[in-house]
């Protein structure tokens, strides 16, 4: 008998009919003589609805009470799926974070898991129960509910799989695996049989929300056997694994293109070009708990320079307030902001061994007259900030340029 963790996302849990479909997938795994733990997301749209209610009444992101509100969608899902399983004659128990003892830090809205005490789950499995866990939630040192960041049910599933040493963790979603790009933007995108952990980490951090980045980091750290599969179509899905020597012979220069519309950029113009200025600006931003992504600084002219950086859209208001205060202190000329941007990235471990990826990328964008506002690179990715209105076009053009729509592996 093996232990399998299955996770079902919002679309998969979208209505009563779909929850019954999910139940039959769970049952067929149980009928394979396996122990099954299921992690569920809120029904699609529910977390947004709850978040909007909290914001409308005056709440803020990343706040204790807001987490209390937005964590409830998963509770409903866990209850409904357990009922559906019971109705089919299977023993199932719904469990919340305090019962599973998913301990996190106190960063409301974006908490990190410290530990999971597997004992309660094990007891339920010993009694032949299917365990249905509400994803996305944890508890802090005070026993308060925290949430794990958007898409966090993926992380709940992988963390439970790691804590219980599961044979496999299957992330079931509304597409058939991980693709060469978001299939909702690029119809020619191709499902990948295998994606390497390094690539998946980049993909997740650059907008491919099919797996939350923390779930990939967890799976990598604890060597969880991780798959992405479709709830609705049977198929092999995608395995996320470590690359081996033989694999690297076949590496493509670029294996995927990601698009992230969730960033905004700020520029602080006309600041003195002297040591300590960048430190002062970014320390105050970090002190407010905001994460900065890309940064560029222009060449100084007559002792003055411009700094441009990006934050997530939800952090823009707070970042703007802080930057405007800093601008007054530093006697800067002005602060500009723009939330009509998108970050388009090409990713591939093969970039390490190929030359010219950047020039191919930039030429392809320029042929379409798409202006690049910012660039950042790592060993295995290149990202460009472009105008939001070009997000889809740029993604499709790059997918085509790097020949990702056809099976061009050796």
Q: Which residues are at the interface with ligand ADP (CB under 6 A)?
A: 9-12, 41, 151, 173-175, 178-179, 181-184, 203, 208-210, 256
Q: Confirm or reject binding of residue 149 to Mg ion (CB under 5 A).
A: no
In the complex, the smallest distance separating the C-beta of residue 400 from Mg ion, rounded to whole angstroms, is: 27
Strand 113-116: give its sheet, edge to edge.
Answer: 113-116, 102-104, 137-139, 145-147
In the complex, the smallest distance separating the C-beta of residue 9 from ligand ADP, rounded to whole angstroms, is: 2
175 binding partner (options Mg ion, ligand ASP, ligand ADP, none; Cβ < 5 to 8 Å by kind): ligand ADP
**DSSP state for residue 390 in the 8-state scheme:** G
In the complex, the smallest distance separating the C-beta of residue 149 from Mg ion, rounded to whole angstroms, is: 11
Q: Confirm or reject binding of residue 177 to ligand ASP (CB under 6 A).
A: no
Q: What are residue 322's phi and psi, to 5 degrees?
A: -65, -45
User: Where do runs of H (alpha helix) occur along 164-252?
Assistant: 197-205, 213-222, 245-249
Which range in 40-48, 125-133, 162-170, 259-267 contacts ligand ASP by CB under 6 A?
Answer: 40-48
The encoded tokens of residue 151 equal 């898409």
Nearer to Mg ion, 157 or 349 (CB): 157
- Which of 109, 135, 207, 348 is the binder for ligand ASP (CB under 6 A)? 135
In the complex, the smallest distance separating the C-beta of residue 55 from ligand ADP, rounded to whole angstroms, is: 21
Nearest to 98, CA basis, from 74, 130, 128: 74
d(CA 305, CA 229): 49
Question: Residue with CB nearest ligand ADP?
Answer: 9
Contact 210, 199 (CB under 8 A): no
The count of residues interacting with ligand ASP (CB under 6 A) is 13
Interior/surface letters 142-162, b for 16+ CB within 10 angstroms, e for the rest: eebbbbbbbbbbbbbbbbbbb
Nearer to ligand ADP, 12 or 323 (CB): 12
Q: What are residue 244's phi and psi, to 5 degrees?
A: -110, 175
- Which of 8, 136, 197, 402 is the binder for ligand ASP (CB under 6 A)? 136
- Which of 151, 152, 177, 207 is the binder for Mg ion (CB under 5 A)? 151
Contacts of 20 (CB under 8 A, 6+ apart): 84
The SS3 of residue 182 is coil
Nearer to ligand ADP, 20 or 209 (CB): 209
- Which of 14, 59, 109, 151 is the binder for ligand ASP (CB under 6 A)? 151
- Please name the helix (run of DSSP H) or strand (run of DSSP E) that holds residue 311, with its range, or none: strand 304-312
d(CA 369, CA 376): 20
Which range in 6-14, 157-165, 285-293, 319-327 contacts Mg ion by CB under 5 A?
Answer: 6-14
Which range in 39-47, 80-88, 109-117, 364-372 contacts ligand ASP by CB under 6 A?
Answer: 39-47
Q: Which residues contact Mg ion (rule: CB under 5 A)?
A: 9, 151
Q: Which residues contact ligand ASP (rule: CB under 6 A)?
A: 9-10, 41-42, 47, 73, 135-136, 150-154
């Amino acid at each position: 008998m093996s232990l399998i963790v299955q996770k079902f996302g919002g679309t998969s849990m979208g209505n009563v009919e779909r929850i019954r479909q999910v139940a039959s997938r769970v049952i067929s795994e149980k009928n394979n003589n396996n122990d099954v733990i299921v992690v569920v997301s809120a029904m699609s749209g529910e977390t947004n609805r709850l978040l909007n209610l909290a914001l409308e009444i005056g709440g803020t992101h990343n706040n204790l009470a807001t987490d209390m509100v937005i964590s409830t969608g998963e509770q409903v899902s866990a209850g409904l799926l357990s009922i559906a399983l019971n109705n089919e004659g299977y023993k199932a128990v719904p469990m919340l974070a305090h019962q599973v003892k998913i301990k996190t830090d106190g960063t409301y809205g974006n908490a990190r898991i410290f530990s999971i005490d597997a004992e309660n789950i094990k007891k339920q499995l010993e009694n032949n129960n299917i365990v249905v866990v509400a994803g996305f939630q944890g508890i802090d040192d005070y026993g308060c509910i925290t949430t794990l960041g958007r898409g966090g049910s993926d992380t709940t599933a992988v963390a439970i799989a790691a804590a219980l040493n599961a044979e496999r963790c299957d992330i079931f979603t509304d597409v058939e695996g991980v693709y060469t790009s978001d299939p909702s933007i690029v119809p020619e995108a191709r499902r990948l049989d295998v994606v390497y952990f390094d690539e998946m980490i980049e993909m997740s951090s650059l907008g491919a929300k099919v797996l939350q980045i923390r779930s990939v980091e967890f799976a990598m750290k604890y060597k969880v056997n991780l798959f992405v599969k479709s709830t609705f179509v049977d198929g092999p899905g995608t395995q996320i694994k470590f690359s081996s020597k033989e694999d690297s012979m076949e590496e493509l220069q670029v294996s995927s293109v990601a698009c992230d519309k969730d960033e905004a950029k700020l520029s602080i113009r006309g600041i003195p070009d002297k040591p300590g200025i960048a430190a002062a600006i970014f320390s105050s931003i970090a002190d407010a708990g905001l994460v900065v992504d890309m940064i560029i600084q222009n060449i100084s002219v007559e002792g003055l320079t411009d700094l441009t950086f990006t934050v997530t859209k939800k952090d823009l208001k707070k970042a703007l307030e802080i930057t405007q205060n800093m601008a007054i202190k530093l006697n800067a000329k002005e602060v500009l902001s723009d939330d009509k941007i998108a970050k388009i990235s090409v990713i591939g471990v093969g970039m390490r061994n190929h030359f010219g990826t950047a020039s191919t990328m930039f030429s392809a964008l320029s042929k379409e007259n798409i202006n690049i506002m910012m660039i950042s690179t790592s060993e295995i990715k290149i990202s460009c900030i472009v105008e939001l209105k070009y997000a889809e076009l740029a993604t499709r053009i790059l997918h085509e340029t790097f020949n990702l729509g056809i099976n061009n592996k050796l």
